[in-house]
Structure formats: structure tokens, C-alpha cells
Structure 1
Amino acid sequence: MEKRSRKSPPFEINGEYISPGTRQLVSIQAGTTMSNHPLSVTADIFHGKKPGPCLLITACVHGDEINGTEIIRRLLTSPVLKRLSGTLLTIPIVNFPAFTSRTRYLPDRRDLNRIFPGSEKGSQGARLAYTITKKFLPLCDAVIDLHTGAINRPNLPQLRIAAGDASSLELGRAFAAPVTMLSPLRDGTFRESAFKLEKPFVLYEAGEASRLDAASIRFGVQGIIAAMRHMGMLPPSKAAHPSGKGIISKSSRWERAPSGGLFVPHVALGKAVATGDILGIIAPPVGGGDGTPIISTTDGIVIGRNNEGLADEGDALFHVASIRDAGSAETQIQESNDRLPELHAEEEEHPMRYHAFPD
């Protein structure tokens, strides 16, 4: 007798039930705004026909980090989800008040990612954090949180994972970003709340605030799909994915402006640098002169850079991940860029040609 395939039961969230094989928006109210309109967290949920894990994907914890919102939009319209087992629980905009203001922070100027796990009766940010922690986090088996660098400070596509967190590192290896930073947990972060609940948590950083960057978005979509395959939410793919081939760094440092003036960078994201290398110069805006060199104090890979043309003394200019064999790491990063599938112009929603690690 032929076996019947198992069917997933409805997915329950906040008293609502989502049928197998359907996609649905669910809003959970956290409070009210100054105009007395609901302050809500809205999830876009794709519930598979077959049972499996639940993956929570969040974006815009910081309101101007919009790459993640676009990553989720593309992911939810991908044809691969027709074969989904389990539940894709996404929150495209966590910090809606900051998103509508086009700013990083909440209206009270606090950072939402320092308020977790939040409070049911606290400030606006505390209520948002509480809703995420109590209503969404318990439902999932793992979390991927999407971020960018700040305005004019783009990041190389990279992951942040808590040092010593083996389950998160395993998920991160499947994602296979060019660089993975093993960084300590910080008090009040979403990542810390997930860690306390023993939820594998991967934080993806790529691009900069207030800009949609095609390569960062494509790396994000590709990495999430690979992580879902690793979790058994999607069938294995015949196409090769560089699982486990990313570079891991345990520390990093910012190289800062030795003086104030015009900032002229010489090194692009993803490039290897050695101790003593000149990364750029600070040139005097008046009176001419050769300028003061910015010297690397470590061997590694440039994973973040300031793109502003002016700097005060002490401004952070180059973020360098410490790596012993930086030259080999640079080659691996270029290979990861080369593995991005070529898209025809009609398939790319951002048709302008981008390089993943632009100068």
C-alpha cells in the first residue's frame, strides 16, 4: 500500500491559524502611537504543506537598515518556497516607528537593539522588544536577523555569531557569508535574548543604511535559502553552495583618522591588508601638502569602511577583521563573489550592474 505524505497541521500564532500551503499577514498590537493608532508588529508568514522547523527572519530592528526588508520580500516570492517544509516566519519591519521616520533609532532616540527582552508596560521600544521576545521567538527553531552598516559606512557581507555558540556557528557555516565574526554578546540585544532561550541565531550585516545594494541582497537571499536547506526546510540543491567555506575571525579593530581633514581611501571592502600598510590618507583641506597616512595596525580583511570625504581626528575609517593569512582570505572572498549567479537584466530588479565589494 502506498504511503501518504505527511501533512503539516495549521500554524498557530496569537490565536490565529494559518493553513498549510498558504501565506498570511498577522499583526500583533504592542501599544498605540501618539496619534492613537495601533503600534503593531506585522509578520508575513509562509506555512509549508509539509511539517518541519520554523525559521524566524527579522529586518529593520534599526529603522533605516532596509536591505533586510528587500531580502525578505524577494525570499517570500521565490519559487523555491513551493517545496517548503515547516514555517517561514518573517518580520520585514520590526521597528516601524523608526522605519517611517527613515532613522536608525526610536522616536525617543533609544536603540531598540539595546532594550531586549523588553517590557509589556514599558516604553514604545520596550513594548516592541517584548512582543518579539514573547510572541514570536518561542515559536521558532532558529533566527536570522538582517542588518546593514550605518549611513556612509558600508559593510562587507558578513555574519555575527556569539563565540562558543556551536549551533549558531553550524547554521552560519551553512549560510556561508564571505566573513563570519565571532563576537561577544551585548546586554539588551535581540541576539542575547535568543541565546538565553537556546535559539540558534545568525546576524547578517551587509551594505549600508538607507540604500538597497543588489549584491548584499543577493548574498542574503542565497545564504538564507542555503540555511533553510541545512535545516531541512527545503530539499537539497544540485547547485554547489560554498557551505562552511567562509572565513572566521575572532577579533577586529577600527583604524582611525590620525588627524582631521579630507579622507582619501586607498583600500576597498574585501581587500587584504598587512600591519604597516597605508590604507589611505588624511589631506589638509587648506594649504596643500601630501597628507597624513592611515596605517593598518593588524593583518586582516577590510570588512567595513567610512565613505565620508571629511574626517575629524579619531573618526573610525576602516574596520579590519583580524585574519592570519589575509591574502588567502581575500582570494576566498573573491571566489564567494564569483559564485553569485549571473542574472540577465530582465531577471534583476536592480538592473544597474554592481560589484559585491565596490571601491
Structure 2
Amino acid sequence: MQNTSITILGETILPGESKTIDMEIAKLHNSAKLKIPIIVQRSKIDGPVVLFSAGIHGDEINGIEIVRQIITKKINKPKKGTIICIPIVNMFGFINQSRQFPDGRDLNRVFPGSKKGSLASQFAYHMLTQIMPHVDYAIDFHAGGAGRFNAPQIRLEPNNAELKVLADVFNAPFTLYSKNIAGSFRNASQKSNVKMLLFEGGKSLDINNAVANEGLEGVKRFLEHLSMLHPKHHAVKNSQRSIYIEKSTWIRANSSGLLHNAISINAFVKKGTILATITDPFGKFERKVKAPNDGYIINVNHSPIVYQGDAIYHISKTIVNGKQ
């Protein structure tokens, strides 16, 4: 992108400037203003525009923490180009500690949105028309929902060589090939020619420092690859190569009851390994949950109570850079 002024929501940011722009699409039901800060840092030197966003689901706090640290550690001050940070996209959900928008919709299923549609649809429309036309690269940070803890992982569309290079650079512990979902921010961004990676790590309504650190170090490697990381920051090279997972499956509870986990996140298990025991509260039964195949455990349900059919583990089936 040429080193000229950038205008977002009517606010102009010149090369070398930094500015926080408040995005206000609607007020709360009590007429209080609800502002979503968009933090823009520009170098005087021409370069790419990178977006770091989180909180598209308002209860996914771990991603918000990663973007917060990007800002507080001043990693968002680029050597060249521009870095845009939106720590909380869904401020409505964040206030209510909820995944959804107040209209009950999942913001990550309504893109590209509509200027006159539902509240979530209007917000998606403004994101896509006001911000994304300026963006070349993006990382959107997420966490597992409903008590399900995700191992730190990057998700990218299959057969996309440019994104594969960026995923290699980020080098999360796991990288999952995952098709873009219709209506998602990632899908709409790709159609707008934005190269976006999706980071998953941790669980909703929780901050995990190890996950946050994985995200932060990946961001530094990502920016260093684009020659945007300021010299005062050091990108730690991860000696262990990311494990690429081509196929995976959910293991579901075989009955309702109390869930007793016996395995930790990131573990590699063999087929038949006992992963958990589900019991009833009255001591009448104990039912084992076993691994259906060899694989890495990339998500563990931390809920103490589960219902029959609930997803309790996510296990790899086919990895690309290994023997599985």
C-alpha cells in the first residue's frame, strides 16, 4: 500500500501518526454510548497494513489479552507500514460476557453484513467497508467456547500457499487446515484479498498466560517476516516445527454425568487410551471414554458436567508433517 493518508470512519491518519478512532454503530438500550476503540499506529516508512483483532465473540477473553499485550508492549509500533489493533470487536458481548450480539446473532456468521440489516449485520458491514479495504494482512484471535479449551493453534484454508508461508512463520504448536465458513470474518476478508490467519487458544471467560505468550511470540515472528517488527523487540525462534493437522474429529460424551478428565491438552495418545471417565452423581456407573485413534489432543472440555453427545475432546486423525 502506498504511504499516503488512511481514512477510517472519517478520521485521517497520516504516515508517522498514531490515533485511536472510536467506532460507534449503536448505543446501549439505556442510551449510553458504546465505543469500540480502533488503535492505529503508522510508520513514516511505506509498508503493509496489518490488523490484529479479537473479541469477535465477546466472551473469548484470551484473544483480547493477546491484542492488549501487543499494544502495551508497543509491539504495534511498526518499523514500517501500519498496524491496526481492535482488542474488542464485539463490545456488546464483552460487556455482557456473552458470545453473541444483543440481537442474538453470532457476529462471525453474518459477514459481509448489510447497511440496513440487524445490528450484528450492520456492524459487520462497517468492519468490512470502513476498515478492511486498508488491510493487507490480518490475524483474528479466538478461544474455545462453552468450557472447551483449545491448544494454541493457527487455522487456515487448505491449498493456499501464501497463508501456508505465514502459518509456518507464526509457528503455533498446531496448525489446522480448516475451510472458511460462510458468513465468517475470515471468509469475507479473503474475498476482499486480505491474507488472514485465525488463532485459537484457551477457552471462553478465561485468561491463560501460556496461550497468550504463544500468540504474542507468533505475532512477533509474523511482523519480523514482514520486516515490520521494531528493532527493540526480539522474535523468539521456535525450534519445534508446528504440527500440521489435515483431518481431525470430535470425541463426544457417551452418556450424561460428571466428567473426570484423565488426559491433558497437547498430549499424543494411542488408540484405546482412556481419556476420561463419566460417572453419575449417585455412584451407579462409571463409563470410560477411549481414544478412537492415535492422535494429538487439541481441545479438552473443562466442564465438570456433560450431557450425552457433548463434544469433550478434539483429536487429530491425519497430520501432514508426520507419520500419523
- CA–CA distance in 2 between the matches of 1:76 and 1:148? 19
Partner of 2:293: 298
1:254-283: CA deviations, max 9, x gaps?
A: 111112222111110000012222111112
Partner of 2:262: 266
Superposition pairs of residues 1-359 of structure 1, within 5 angstroms: 8-38=3-33, 40-81=35-76, 84-234=79-229, 240-242=236-238, 245-289=241-285, 291-323=286-318
- CA–CA distance in 1 between the matches of 2:3 and 2:240? 31
Structure 1 contact 173–244 (Cα < 8 Å) conserved = no
Structure 1 contact 299–323 (Cα < 8 Å) conserved = no
1:273-303: CA deviations, max 9, x gaps?
A: 12222111112322345x1110111221111
Count of residues in correspondence between the two structures: 322
CA drift at 1:49: 2.7
CA drift at 1:224: 0.9
- CA–CA distance in 1 between the matches of 2:322 and 2:228? 36
- CA–CA distance in 2 between the matches of 1:38 and 1:206? 31
AA aligned opposite 2:155: R
CA drift at 1:247: 0.8
AA aligned opposite 2:201: A
CA drift at 1:79: 4.7
- CA–CA distance in 2 between the matches of 1:194 and 1:65? 20
What SS class does the counterpart of residue 131 from structure 1 fall into? helix
Compared with structure 1, are the counterparts of its residues 57 and 278 closer, same or farther at alpha carbon in structure 2 (3 Å cutoff)? Answer: same
Compared with structure 1, are the counterparts of its residues 61 and 325 closer, same or farther at alpha carbon in structure 2 (3 Å cutoff)? Answer: closer
| TM, length-normalised to structure 2 | 0.91
Partner of 1:340: none
Structure 1 contact 53–232 (Cα < 8 Å) conserved = no
What SS class does the counterpart of residue 52 from structure 1 fall into? coil
What SS class does the counterpart of residue 285 from structure 1 fall into? coil
| TM, length-normalised to structure 1 | 0.83
RMSD, matched Cα: 2.5
What SS class does the counterpart of residue 184 from structure 1 fall into? coil
Structure 2 contact 76–83 (Cα < 8 Å) conserved = no
- CA–CA distance in 2 between the matches of 1:97 and 1:154? 23
- CA–CA distance in 2 between the matches of 1:324 and 1:141? 29
1:296-315: CA deviations, max 9, x gaps?
A: 11221111111112222212
AA aligned opposite 2:138: V
What SS class does the counterpart of residue 46 from structure 2 fall into? strand
CA drift at 1:111: 0.7
Structure 2 contact 269–294 (Cα < 8 Å) conserved = yes
Structure 1 contact 147–205 (Cα < 8 Å) conserved = yes
* Percent identity (aligned): 33
CA drift at 1:82: 5.1
Compared with structure 1, are the counterparts of its residues 243 and 190 closer, same or farther at alpha carbon in structure 2 (3 Å cutoff)? Answer: farther
Gaps of 5+ in 2: none
- CA–CA distance in 2 between the matches of 1:81 and 1:157? 21
- CA–CA distance in 2 between the matches of 1:238 and 1:95? 31
CA drift at 1:221: 1.1
Structure 1 contact 257–317 (Cα < 8 Å) conserved = yes
